[in-house]
Each structure stands twice: as C-alpha cells, then as structure tokens.
Amino acid sequence: MGKSNISITYQTSPRDRPVSAILVRAAAGDPRRGWLTAGGQTFPVALGRGGILANKREGDGGTPRGTFRPRQVWWRADRHARPRTFLPVRAIRPEDAWCEDPGDRHYNQPVRREAGQGGDRLRRDDHLYDFIVEIDHNTEPRIAHRGSAVFLHLARDNFGPTAGCVSMTKSAMLRLLQRIGPETKIVIE
C-alpha cells in the first residue's frame, strides 16, 4: 500500500484574529461624542468633556489625540463572565486603583490602595469600570501632568462626557473585546 499525500488546510475567518486598527473620531457638532470603528462595525462613544486634544494635560478633560496600543482588560468578575478577547485579562480587586498624582512615582500606573487612600478606584459602585481596556497613553516614558487613567470603558446611560476616556455601551464593548489584541492600533483623531 502506498502512502497518501493528503493535506488539510484550515481557513480562518477575520473574526479568528484581532483587527489591526480601531479608529475613534469626534462626531460632527459635538466634540464630547464620537464614533469608534473596528472590523467594519461602528459604535457611538462618549469622549472627554474637553473633546479630543493634541496636547493632553492632567485634569483638562480631554481625550488624547494619537495612536495607542491596548495593554490589558480589567473586568468585574463579581458582575460578569470573563470576556472573550485576545488581550490579557485581569479581574478587578477591591484594592485596585490608578495613580493620578503627577508627583507620585507611580503616576499613571495601577496601584493598590486601602480604604481611605487616594487614587481612581477601579472597583466602582456604578458600572462604568465593569470592563476597562488599559491603553499605553503616557506610559513610555511616563511624563508628569501629561494625563493618566485614559481607558476605554463603559458609558453612562446618557452618554455623558468622560474625564478623558472613550466610553461605550456594554454590548459594543463586548463586541470590541472579541476583536482587539495587543498589536491593534487605537487611533484617536
């Protein structure tokens, strides 16, 4: 009996791999609202109260203009199942916070805080931080006063402006998470 030369080719669909880029743009007529486009889908988003700014500063309420990469997903494991994504995923613990103090050596980094200590708490009573995509804004190098805690997260019910983040509905976030990976570019223009 002779050997058979059978080869099997598996095809992957575009949904089996992350998108190469996500585009975020302000909406016409309202710089605090915008559109996020990824993998042929477009979702409404809320932007910072200061709109999209090329020269982001701590406390200005602006969403930074630029090209960024996602680092990891933080999620409330006590409220939701682990999201499907190509990114690393980390459950939010009660002590998890983000340092927003430009004078602190941990500025714009995750920190652990006990009750009564400062910092932007990642575990919130509302649902805004139930899913957070941490991006590499102002990370290498970290420069004091250039902005901290800029995330992709869930929007308020009325799509009210953020302090500088990009926010969206839970359904849009879950669809985005399925398509985003470490090499995906997040272009905010």
Q: Where residue 101 falls among pLDDT bands split at 50, 70, 90?
A: very high
Task: Convert the pLDDT of each residue in 152-181 to its tens digit.
Answer: 999 999 999 999 999 999 999 999 999 999
Structural contact between residues 63 and 47, judged by C-beta atoms closer than 8 angstroms? yes
Residue that wins the pLDDT comparison between 15 and 178: 178
Structural contact between residues 169 and 154, judged by C-beta atoms closer than 8 angstroms? yes
- For the chain, the structural domain boundaries read 17-188
Q: Where residue 114 falls among pLDDT bands split at 50, 70, 90?
A: confident
Mean pLDDT of the chain: 92
Question: Is the pTM here over 0.85, yes or no?
Answer: yes
Instruction: Give Dmax (Cα) for the chain.
Output: 77
User: Smallest Cα–Cα separation from 69: which of 50, 41, 88?
Assistant: 88
Please give the DSSP secondary-structure letter assigned to residue 83. Answer: P
CA contacts within 13 A on the Cβ side of 74: 24
CATH class entry, domain 17-188: mainly beta
